[in-house]
Amino acid sequence: MQLTVWTYEAPPHVGAMRVATAMEGVHYVLHAPQGDTYADLLFTMIERARKRPPVTYTTFQARDLGADTAELFKTSVKEAYERFRPQALLVGASCTAELIQDDPGGLALALGLPIPVVPLELPAYQRKENWGAAETFYRIVRTLAGPAVPPPGSKRTARAPGQPPRCNILGPTSLGFRHRDDVHEVTGLLHRLGVTVNVVAPLGASPADIARLGEADFNVVLYPEIAYQAAQWLERSFGQKSTKVVPIGFGATTDFVVEVAALAGVDPAPVLAGTPSRAPWYARSVDSTYLTGKRVFVFGDATHAIAAARIAAEELGFEVVGLGTYSREFGRELRAAAAKYGVEPLITDDYLEVEETIAALHPELVLGTQMERHTAKRLGVPCAVISAPVHVQDFPARTSPQMGFEGANVLFDTFVHPLMMGLEEHLLQMFREDFEFHADAAPSHLGSHGAAPARAEAPPLAAETPAARAPEPEPELVAAFVAPADGPIADARISVTPVPSADGGPVTPPPAPPLRWAPDAEKELHKIPFFVRGKARRNTERFAQDRGLSLITVETLYDAKAHFSR
Amino acid sequence: MNAIAPARPAETGCSDAPVLYERGQREVFCGLTGIVWLHRKIQDAFFLVVGSRTCAHLLQSAAGVMIFAEPRFATAIIEERDLAGLADANAELDRVVTRLIERRPDIKLLFLVGSCPSEVIKLDLSRAAERLSEAFAPKVRILSWSGSGIETTFTQGEDACLAALVPGMPDETAAAAPSLLVVGALAEVVEDQFVRLFAELGIERVRFFPPRRSDDLPAVGPQTRILLAQPFLAETARLLEKRGATRLAAPFPLGVEGTTGWLGAAAEAFWIDAARFDAAVTPRAERARAALARQREKLAGKSIFFFPDSQLEVPLARFAARELGMRLVEVGTPYLHRGHLAAELALLPAGTALSEGQDVDKQLDRCRAARPDLTVCGLGLANPLEAEGLATKWSIELLFTPVHGFEQAADLAELFARPLVRRSRLRV
């Protein structure tokens, strides 16, 4: 047994629901006890679906257990078929029905319905949501496109001259993080390349569309977590190659365009010409200078985490200090990416482990899921969401793709927004005695705090009275402490949202060790501008702790400075 | 006969009304959902669900952001190795519980909560609770109950949890003065209002169940009079009655009439004189009526349809019909306890369509055909019905919002009025 409070992924049958709900003309009969319908809420509330998911639950209860449940399942299938008249039917079991061992596939096939029936075997005690979605999509593709597979050894017929190249877009589902807008963005890119989209699936596809998948020249795999398995089968069966690059970020989108152009036999130059995205210029503009070397921790599904790390490092000039995923199926890819940034890969589905890692790394920005948003809020670190699982606010009304050149613009704004804007950081330095600018001020664009978070740098502003203020600090003294050391958190503790958390405010970080500061050392510390003073204080204290010192003197302060400015 | 209780209508309302009993697909929560509010109520208890990833995911979806406030609930997720053999599963459970108690030394009471998977594999949690209680006595008590979907619907989880606490309640001495026990988790603000009301009535010995701390269980015995604050406590009431307590027949304290009748039942049982009752109750009832009048203007004459959810539907329908002037199209409830709802059924307008259980697609057909002005339903149905042009009120809010008693009567009405007000405001 595994003790769990938070789970990054739902059970695999929810993955199957995501595929069924994404499609048209498909119905899913799920052998499940009363209560499993809670999953409908994910679609109707988080994604604000206007229709109920096309799922019928058998809703067995205790009194049905025994021979009754198989009969109940058959009745449910018959009634669902009569009522909804789908063009294809998915059947399967949820975790509880898996234990009672009725055979949904066999029972449904025995009914002899005049439509394709796709039995789903989703082992609920070993696998999770994304695997369930991938398996479901693969089974649907095999069942519905299978009849069109040419005999082994056949050659793909060459495209007729004058025929535009055609591709399928594979992977977008219901409840997918930004899938709606990604599809729109990527379709536009393909269109500009002169490539026609044959079928988008599962999102918006009917069983008839799935049957036509083999007619395309190649496949664009948007989300490997969901479409990789189906794309492999299509390659084996129809000789369709598929894209390997996921177009998230400016660089990746450029690579993607080149890759697609090669598969389609077209020229990528017109699409790449000019300035297809504002993000590169924004990153080069002087206001972004302050982003240089900001320490960022990245966690999410493998696809989004790997893409975000590349953007952070190559397109924003951050330093990636941690990279991880909960997608165990993509551990190899994640490890390879982590090696590129020289960081320890973190592959776990235990949020406490992620939280510990974040706390230990002291990043200045966290890119993660809804879960990391809460963790970062607790730790007082800025954060942006880059991956599912997400809450309702990450299914926005406005167009906000992650993919393509517009996606790159969205991501620039998303990553930078939680951070102090460069100019604001500068003003803070200039007017640091101004009543509105002080160490605890949140960025002005993020509204006010619910409650001022507790900080390691305890003395309030009153302690920084002009009387106690020393002359302007030596520039190199500042520089040494501003330079990223072994990872102090930026001192401006920013709450990600202006809403206080459910427990009435951010959680206090662990108390500092019982270290004493000699009065003259404390005074020296106060010569450092307040907005990096906390950082300097923590660096010095950690330095002293590591060496078993109990009293921090002026010498300790400068020893620490020397140590960190290596 | 009692001079205090509100005049009973001459007709018997729906006391003997036929009920449409349906079986089929149900769009309801399982009893595990009760944990979401129970863990806020009993402040030193921890709820450990023994179940699958589905159970963990349900709790996470239902608890929303609460999951990050160091909640006092978790799931021991059954894995494949646990399914291999039963002895192994018990050893695993012991390991998980030991680790949990080490990590959370503040826990005084641990509930092992059964789920569909644990029930189907016949993992005996009551024996596990006994075994672990011996190991961790006296520091931690360990109890078990089932919140599985195959056994319980939504609020029945609270019933199962409270029922598990009953055996641990101390005995009331036979010589004790009569005491009043209010049963059912209420918002603290509501509890405090009732405490003041009972004091003014002169009912001295009043306790609430569940208590705020697990080591503060009220005593129960032949001198105990029970007022159910919630309609979904069949098993808890049965066990309390087995301990000698007497349930007071009353409507539920929703709306002015329900609250007056509920307090009246207690006043009658404790021989409180009418003048004293009027002095305490009338000013509050008047204030609540005045507040209600403003909401009634928006709701009178409007039709309302209740999908089954929490068993609160019958009392809510009675309130909507009699105090807000609404027309009842259908009142669906997951389970209809005729004994506990007797006073409510008598007050329902004669001819009200009642249904118990659910076949959701057929019920949706009836709802669409009737096109009610307001539909009370779960979040799985609300947006789809809104998209079809029907105004909805999502029902879970009625569990998480203080709605009982005089001071909350207008708030309860406002919950029904808000969706209609909103629709009249939106111009796009």
Domain ranges in chain B are 19-26+292-426, 31-152, 179-275
pLDDT in tens, B230-259: 999 999 999 999 999 999 999 999 999 999
pLDDT band at A533 (very low <50, low <70, confident <90, very high): confident
pLDDT of residue A457: 35
Number of Cβ within a 10 Å radius of residue A355 = 17
Q: Which domains does chain A have, with CATH numbers?
A: 12-128 (3.40.50.1980), 148-153+161-275 (3.40.50.1980), 279-423 (3.40.50.1980), 516-565 (1.10.8.550)
pLDDT in tens, A322-352: 999 999 999 999 999 999 999 999 999 998 8
pLDDT of residue A64: 87
SS3 A266: coil
pLDDT of residue A466: 34
SS3 B227: strand
Please compute the mean of the pLDDT values over residues A448-452 and round it to a whole number.
Answer: 40
Question: Mean pLDDT score of chain A, rounded to an integer?
Answer: 85
Count residue pairs from A and B with Cβ separation < 8 A.
185
pLDDT of residue A515: 86
The fold of B31-152 is Rossmann fold (3.40.50)
Provide the residue type at A158 as one letter: A
Residues of chain B with pLDDT under 50: 1-10
**CA–CA gap between residue B370 and residue B360 (Å, rounded):** 15
pLDDT of residue A403: 98
Q: Residues of chain A with pLDDT > 90: what percent?
A: 67
Please compute the mean of the pLDDT values over residues A457-480 and round it to a whole number.
Answer: 35
CA torsion, points B35, B41, B43, B47, in degrees to nearest 10? -10
With an 8 Å Cβ cutoff, are A96 and B99 in contact?
Answer: no
Given the residues A40, A287, A349, A350, select the one marked as catalytic: A287
The residue count for chain A: 566
Residue B188 tokens, joined: 């603290």
Residue A378 clears pLDDT 90, i.e. is over it:
no
Residue ranges of B 106-135 with Cβ closer than 8 A to chain A: 116-117, 119-121
Provide the residue type at A95 as one letter: C
pLDDT band at A443 (very low <50, low <70, confident <90, very high): low
Looking only at the bridges linking them, the beta strands covering B109-114 and B179-183 are unpaired
Residue A144 tokens, joined: 């519905």
Q: In CATH terms, are B19-26+292-426 and B31-152 the same topology?
A: yes
pLDDT in tens, A33-47: 999 999 999 999 999
- Interface test mutation site (partner A, options B73, B148, B150, B397, max chain A beta carbons within 10 A): B150
Which position has the higher pLDDT, A488 or A77? Answer: A77
The fold of B179-275 is Rossmann fold (3.40.50)
With an 8 Å Cβ cutoff, are A125 and B151 in contact?
Answer: no
Are B259 and B410 in contact, with CB atoms under 8 Å apart? no
With an 8 Å Cβ cutoff, are B69 and A2 in contact?
Answer: no
Residue position matching structure tokens 């969205």: A410
Which position has the higher pLDDT, A529 or A457? Answer: A529
pLDDT band at A246 (very low <50, low <70, confident <90, very high): very high
Residue B78 touches chain A, beta carbons under 8 Å: yes
With an 8 Å Cβ cutoff, are A36 and B153 in contact?
Answer: no
Residue A212 clears pLDDT 70, i.e. is over it:
yes
H/E run at residue B182: strand B179-183
pLDDT of residue A530: 65
Which chain B residues have a beta carbon less than 8 Å from that of A99? 83, 117, 120-121
Which chain A residues have a beta carbon less than 8 Å from that of B382? 44
**CA–CA gap between residue B193 and residue B302 (Å, rounded):** 31
The fold of B19-26+292-426 is Rossmann fold (3.40.50)
Minimum mean pLDDT range among A207-221, A433-447, B116-130, B205-219: A433-447
Does the model's pTM come out above 0.75?
yes
